[in-house]
């Protein structure tokens, strides 16, 4: 009897020690993952900024509606001001580390913290992941939302109830962070539901209740947060303005103006000779006719009317340019690190956060100006392209490769997200490398996961 107690106690102590060791390993690996993801920001000496960063801060801190800038994400940034925004990028990095770890676990690679660290380090070294994780922008939430949608839809029974709630929260917060993220989550959720009825895909049937509720909650949060922060119960402004910019870039607006002007009922006719060729010049140019006409608010009515009329007058041009924009966006995913056009953010800091301006201006981004062109040429772009092709091949050959249903669903969800993002951003804005690079960074991680599955030691009884 005594021996049995001793044996039981010894086994229990051994299990306790193993559990403590496992938790310690995960704590160390988790901290290392966050540090790895923060590498560019730590090297920079300040979180990475973008020209748009200032707009998010202005929206939240002054209650001013800003074109395409989420006040809710600006509020998130504002919470990090006392510590120079470092809590913001630490949380973004920790979120991605957690999502990667959960994705590995539901694909049979759990309980291996050093594998998780290795794959995060590999993805960090070969993609733009660390630039987005350490940047004061909501772009990292696109990748986070794509993984959360996958986990809720195809790994519902492999995650705990608390994890399901956390994943739903990720989606609900990603949706109001950027209207393109909202459109992405809506499009992917709807597509997963529709495509689940096509039996030839031979994928597990997704469980979309949590994901759909999270998307709806995110849309409501967008309205409520804007009402609370900027006094408007509406979505983040600017959707039609970005589309109008793309129609300018594709020449449709120029054709319309040539056909319709002069016309005293059309205000744009007075600026017929001042319409630029590029969308960015129209939307952000200092002397742009867009702002002389009233900007995203004052010109919204005529802008929307012109868009509707061009759809009727030039349907074939709309179709062909939309297809071209989608494919143009699909194949544009170079990493961008803004170096020369951050003046809007400098002005916002000078106006709202003068105490932090010296730290911002002393960062390497403003001085050493890191050159990512070689990284794009020799690493990010070829790795992104090759791993995306590998995902397509793995999905097509999933039976021969003996992919698990969860792994096949992961490939499918990411490819669907990449396609939806290309269509949304390409058509309703215009092709920009940053828009696609914030999602294509997941492709190398998923391919590495598939390789790790193939090399996983077989478990014997």
Pair of tokens at residue 80:
């990090």
The answer to whether 130 and 46 have CB atoms below 8 angstroms apart is no
Q: What is the mean pLDDT of residues 11-15?
A: 53
Query: What is the pLDDT averaged over residues 125-152?
Result: 97
Whether 4 has a pLDDT exceeding 60, the answer reads no
Q: Mean pLDDT of all residues in the chain?
A: 92
The residue among 296 and 436 whose pLDDT is bigger is 436
pLDDT of residue 147: 98
CA distance 68 to 348: 16
User: Quick one: pLDDT at residue 13?
Assistant: 55
- Contact (Cβ atoms closer than 8 angstroms) between residue 296 and residue 393: no
Q: What are phi and psi of 66, to 5 degrees?
A: -125, 140
Helix (H), strand (E) at residue 122 = helix 113-126
Asked if 349 contacts 335 with a C-beta cutoff of 8 angstroms, the reply is no
Q: Cβ(170)–Cβ(91) under 8 Å?
A: no
pLDDT band at 457 (very low <50, low <70, confident <90, very high): low
CA angle (219, 192, 426) in 5-degree steps: 65
Mean pLDDT of 206-230: 96
Share of the chain above pLDDT 90, in %: 82
Sorted by where each begins, the domain ranges of the chain are 240-313, 324-330+372-454
How do residues 315-367 score in pLDDT, each as one tens digit?
999 999 999 999 999 999 998 887 778 999 999 999 999 999 999 999 999 99
At 6 the pLDDT is 44
Mean pLDDT, residues 431-452: 96
Cross-strand pairs, 48? 135
3-state secondary structure at position 124: helix
Backbone φ and ψ of 135, nearest 5°: -105, 145
Residues 46-59 have a mean pLDDT of: 96
Q: pLDDT-derived band of residue 164, with 50, 70 and 90 as boundaries?
A: very high
Q: Is the pLDDT of residue 399 over 80?
A: yes
> With 0-12 CB in 10 A as exposed, 13-18 as middle and 19+ as buried, what is 168?
buried
With b for 16 or more beta-carbon neighbours within 10 A and e for fewer, the 54-65 pattern comes to bbbbbbbbbeeb
Query: Tokens in use for 407?
Result: 């792994």
Could you give the dihedral angle defined by the CA atoms of residues 410, 416, 417 and 420, in that order, rounded to the nearest 10 degrees? Answer: 180
Give the pLDDT band of residue 2 (cuts 50, 70, 90): very low
| Contact by Cβ (8 Å): 428, 242 | yes
**Tokens 């119960």 belong to which residue?**
233
CA 253 to each of CA 216, 256, 257, 277, 308: distance values in angstroms, whole numbers, following the listed order: 34, 5, 6, 10, 12
Backbone dihedral region of 181: left (phi > 0), alpha (psi from -120 to 50 degrees) or beta?
Answer: alpha
Summarize pLDDT for 246-281 with one digit per residue, the tens: 999 999 999 999 999 999 999 999 999 889 989 989
């Amino acid at each position: 009897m005594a021996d049995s107690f001793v044996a039981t106690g010894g086994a229990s102590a051994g299990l306790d020690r193993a559990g403590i060791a496992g938790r310690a390993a995960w704590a160390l690996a988790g901290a290392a993952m966050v540090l790895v993801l923060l590498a560019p920001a730590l090297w920079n000496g300040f979180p990475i900024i973008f020209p748009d960063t200032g707009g998010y801060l202005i929206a939240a801190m002054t209650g001013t509606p800003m074109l395409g800038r989420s006040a809710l994400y600006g509020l998130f940034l504002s919470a990090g001001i006392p510590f120079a925004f470092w809590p913001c990028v630490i949380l973004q990095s920790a979120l991605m580390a957690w999502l990667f770890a959960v994705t590995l676990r539901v694909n049979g690679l759990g309980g291996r913290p050093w594998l998780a660290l290795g794959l995060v380090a590999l993805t960090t070294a070969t993609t733009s992941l660390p630039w987005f994780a350490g940047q004061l922008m909501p772009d990292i939430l696109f990748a986070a939302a794509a993984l959360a949608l996958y986990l809720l839809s195809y790994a519902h029974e492999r995650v705990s109830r608390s994890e399901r709630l956390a994943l739903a929260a990720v989606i609900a917060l990603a949706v109001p962070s950027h209207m393109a993220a909202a459109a992405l989550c809506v499009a992917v959720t709807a597509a997963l539901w529709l495509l689940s009825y096509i039996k030839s895909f031979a994928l597990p049937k997704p469980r979309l209740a949590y994901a759909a509720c999270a998307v709806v909650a995110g849309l409501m949060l967008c309205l409520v947060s804007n009402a609370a922060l900027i006094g408007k119960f509406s979505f983040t402004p600017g959707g039609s303005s970005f589309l109008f910019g793309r129609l300018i870039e594709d020449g449709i607006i120029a054709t319309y103006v040539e056909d319709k002007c002069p016309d005293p009922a059309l205000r744009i006719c007075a600026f017929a000779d001042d319409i630029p060729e590029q969308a960015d010049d129209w939307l952000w140019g200092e002397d742009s006719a867009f702002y002389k006409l009233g900007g995203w608010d004052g010109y919204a009515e005529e802008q929307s009317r012109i868009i509707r009329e061009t759809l009727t007058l030039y349907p074939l041009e709309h179709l062909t340019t939309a297809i071209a924009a989608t494919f143009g966006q699909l194949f544009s995913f170079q990493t961008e690190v803004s170096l020369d056009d951050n003046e809007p953010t400098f002005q916002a800091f000078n106006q709202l956060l003068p105490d932090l301006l010296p730290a911002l201006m002393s960062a390497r981004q403003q001085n050493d100006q890191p050159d990512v062109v070689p990284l794009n040429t020799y690493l990010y772009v070829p790795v992104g392209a090759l791993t995306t092709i590998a995902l397509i091949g793995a999905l097509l050959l999933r039976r021969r490769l003996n992919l698990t249903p969860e792994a096949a669903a992961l490939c499918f969800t990411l490819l669907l997200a990449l396609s939806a993002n290309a269509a949304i951003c390409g058509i309703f804005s215009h092709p920009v490398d940053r828009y696609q690079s914030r999602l294509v960074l997941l492709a190398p991680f998923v391919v590495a996961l598939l390789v790790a599955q193939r090399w996983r030691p077989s478990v014997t009884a």
